[in-house]
Amino acid sequence: MVEYKCFKCEKKIKSAALEKRFVCPNCGGKIFYKPRTKVKKIRAV
């Protein structure tokens, strides 16, 4: 599942919640961004 972060209040919002309304349930903000997911470490052999 994808999680977004609200640009205003910086709270995490699950993408499922945004599918209904693309509005932050906490502050009503409409700007979101994806927090960086865990960086994949690739080791070259």
Binding stretches for Zn ion (CB under 5 A): 6, 8-9, 24, 26-27, 29
Whole-number Å distance between alpha carbons of 23 and 13: 10
Q: Work out whether the CA dihedral 5, 31, 19, 34 comes out positive or negative.
A: negative
| Beta carbon nearer to Zn ion, 10 or 41 | 10
- CA distance between the termini of the chain: 31
Closer residue to Zn ion (CB): 20 or 43: 20
CB of 14 to Zn ion, least distance (A): 13
Q: Considering the complex, state which of residue 11 and residue 44 has its C-beta at the smaller distance from Zn ion.
A: 11
